[in-house]
A and B are shown apart, each in its own frame.
Chain A
Amino acid sequence: MQAIISVNKLTKTYPSGLRALNNINLDIRRGEIFALLGPNGAGKTTLISIICGIVNPGEGQVLVDGHDIVKDYRSARAKIGLVPQELSISMFESVWATVKFSRGLFGKSPDDAWLEKILKDLSLWDKKDSRIMALSGGMKRRVLIAKALAHQPQILFLDEPTAGVDVELRRDMWDMIRNLRNSGVTIILTTHYIEEAEEMADRIGVINKGEIILVEEKTTLMQKLGKKQLTLQLQQPLPQIPVELNHYQLELSNDGNQLIYTFDSQEDADIAGLLRHLGNLGIEFKDLQTSQSSLEDIFVNLVGGHA
């Protein structure tokens, strides 16, 4: 499938001399939800800002649905909606006026029915005549989303969309984002809530210090990098791990009641072998459970490893 956004050898150095992006290559697939993860200052916002036309690109090229973001900026930008990280919104306007403004700014003729639909989807309809300064932080962020959707973009960038949004609304927002994806919108989001990426993303990219260090299907990533653990509750506490079991990655809990076996992926796991060995040694267990590391653990490992 042809990529809807294609970033080629993009390098950005700010006037201060700081290199925020270093030789970024990234393809976003049409219709996917792509989560861009990375620690503070990694370059997520810079990358998004360049694609959207807010920051000048340095070297390299970005194509949005085949349109160069510099030479053919009108066609490129018309396809994109952006929800910025900062709550930048003019405070004195009414909600309705500001979404109407956004639609016009992107060159679309007025369509009040569409604006009504998105305000309703975002539970903002009853606030449509309120001034923005009278809204709560979470409501303001939803107004920003409404503004970004006002011109019916094919691509939506969400730079930390759920920062400051309460748990219930966050779930609503996830539903809304999924619905958008189902209607064909490609979504690129950044977040510091890894569970959000885990919950929603089709693919995950990790950026650190201006470099993309990984792009992977979420499920593959979790399989490949997700550590699994098998915990055995022993009948009798063990004083130490028997030497016969040395070639397994085993840990013994402090009280000696639990034996923990950690394995990286399905392939190199030898659970059957371990259990056979335990049987031979006469070590009995009363219960067993497995757990899988979350995306968060994976992320911390990755970024920590590159730091």
Chain B
Amino acid sequence: MNIHAIKAIYLFELARTWRTLMQSIASPVLSTSLYFIVFGSAIGSRMVEIDGISYGAFIIPGLIMLSLLTESISNASFGIYMPKFTGTIYEILSAPISALEIVIGFVGAAATKSIILGLIILATARLFVDFSILHPFWMLGFLVLTSVTFSLFGFIIGIWADGFEKLQIIPMMIVTPLTFLGGSFYSIHMLPPLWQTITLFNPVVYLISGFRWSFYGVADVNVGISLAMILLFMLLCLFMIWLIFKTGYKVKT
């Protein structure tokens, strides 16, 4: 293991976050705060409880997930896309470093940022809405797993993308809709039966449901299934990354 190299990439990527503090931390915190104010405090007070949880509290896990997913993907995809775009990737390719070490450095940094961001948003939410966390360790576990998994996914997008448009299209066109329709703002039991079934094909449902379970002990789907789904997606991403480096796809000519 080239520990020095992993550390170099990891710290380099984190330094990028501090340089762009406004963009990478402040803006997602601000936008989620707006959700908490509007849906949590203002509208939430007029809404009925869901599964015995006040509406403001009910939406918190889903909103954190929304930020985690988009930020993990955008951080990790940007992190690897930029060196490709500017040409600085030559140095990484010429270094005595394995594909695994490159992934640990980049994905580790992106996931770290997301975890920090998730915790900041959680703390911010507490300012607006009263809630408690039933299983804090599981909550952290889901936070970490989701951040890592979607940073891996972002890494794949960053390698696949050959323009800024492609870089943004998946988070915008796929991830955000899936998150909104994945039960961030409602329990899927509130949907008509047909839509309940269709929704079960949305992978984000499992993430949000599992995450919400760690807060309040209630879930749309069994928490074991949630965990299994995240792990499955993570393995899938790892397999794709392995394929990418094995074939040199879009990395080396």
A and B part of one assembly: yes
Residues in chain A within 8 A of chain B (CB atoms): 14-15, 49, 52-56, 73-78, 80, 82, 84, 86, 88-93, 97, 100-109, 147
Is B128 located at the chain interface by the 8 A CB criterion?
Answer: no
| Interfacial chain A residues near B5, Cβ < 8 Å | 104-107
| Interfacial chain B residues near A76, Cβ < 8 Å | 96
Other-chain contact of B88, A49, A55, A88, A108 (Cβ < 8 Å): A88
Let me know if B2 and A101 touch, CB within 8 A. no
Q: Can you list 25 residue pairs at the A/B interface with Cβ under 8 Å?
A: A14-B253, A15-B253, A49-B90, A52-B93, A52-B94, A74-B97, A77-B95, A78-B96, A82-B94, A84-B90, A88-B86, A89-B86, A93-B15, A97-B15, A102-B91, A104-B4, A104-B8, A105-B4, A105-B95, A106-B96, A107-B4, A107-B95, A107-B97, A109-B4, A147-B91
Let me know if B4 and A108 touch, CB within 8 A. yes
Is B242 located at the chain interface by the 8 A CB criterion?
Answer: no
| Interfacial chain A residues near B12, Cβ < 8 Å | 93, 97, 101
Let me know if B253 and A55 touch, CB within 8 A. yes
Chain A's closest residue to B6 (CB) is A104
The main secondary structure of chain B at its interface with chain A is helix
Q: How far is the CA of A74 from the CA of B82 in the complex (A)?
A: 25
| Interfacial chain A residues near B93, Cβ < 8 Å | 52-54
| Interfacial chain B residues near A82, Cβ < 8 Å | 90-91, 94
Q: How far is the CA of A78 from the CA of B94 in the complex (A)?
A: 9
A73-B96, A101-B12 given; name 20 further pairs at CB < 8 Å: A53-B94, A55-B252, A56-B252, A77-B96, A78-B96, A82-B94, A86-B87, A88-B88, A88-B90, A92-B19, A102-B91, A103-B4, A104-B4, A104-B8, A105-B4, A105-B8, A107-B5, A107-B95, A107-B97, A147-B91
| Interfacial chain A residues near B248, Cβ < 8 Å | 56
Is B9 located at the chain interface by the 8 A CB criterion?
Answer: yes
Q: How far is the CA of A24 from the CA of B96 in the complex (A)?
A: 24
Is B135 located at the chain interface by the 8 A CB criterion?
Answer: no
Chain B's closest residue to A92 (CB) is B19
Q: How far is the CA of A49 from the CA of B248 in the complex (A)?
A: 15
Q: Given A54-B93, A54-B252, A92-B19, answer yes or no on A107-B2 (Cβ-Cβ < 8 Å).
A: yes
Let me know if B252 and A105 touch, CB within 8 A. no
Q: How far is the CA of A91 from the CA of B82 in the complex (A)?
A: 11
Q: How far is the CA of A101 from the CA of B9 in the complex (A)?
A: 8
Chain A's closest residue to B8 (CB) is A104
Let me know if B2 and A74 touch, CB within 8 A. yes
| Interfacial chain B residues near A77, Cβ < 8 Å | 94-96
| Interfacial chain A residues near B19, Cβ < 8 Å | 92
6 tightest CB-CB pairs across the interface, nearest first? A104-B8, A88-B87, A77-B96, A74-B96, A52-B94, A78-B96
Is B92 located at the chain interface by the 8 A CB criterion?
Answer: yes
A133 CB to closest chain B CB, in angstroms? 11
Q: How far is the CA of A86 from the CA of B12 in the complex (A)?
A: 21
Q: How far is the CA of A80 from the CA of B93 in the complex (A)?
A: 12
Chain A's closest residue to B12 (CB) is A101
| Interfacial chain B residues near A53, Cβ < 8 Å | 93-94
Chain B's closest residue to A86 (CB) is B87
Q: How far is the CA of A74 from the CA of B97 in the complex (A)?
A: 7
Q: How far is the CA of A49 from the CA of B87 in the complex (A)?
A: 13
Q: How far is the CA of A104 from the CA of B8 in the complex (A)?
A: 5
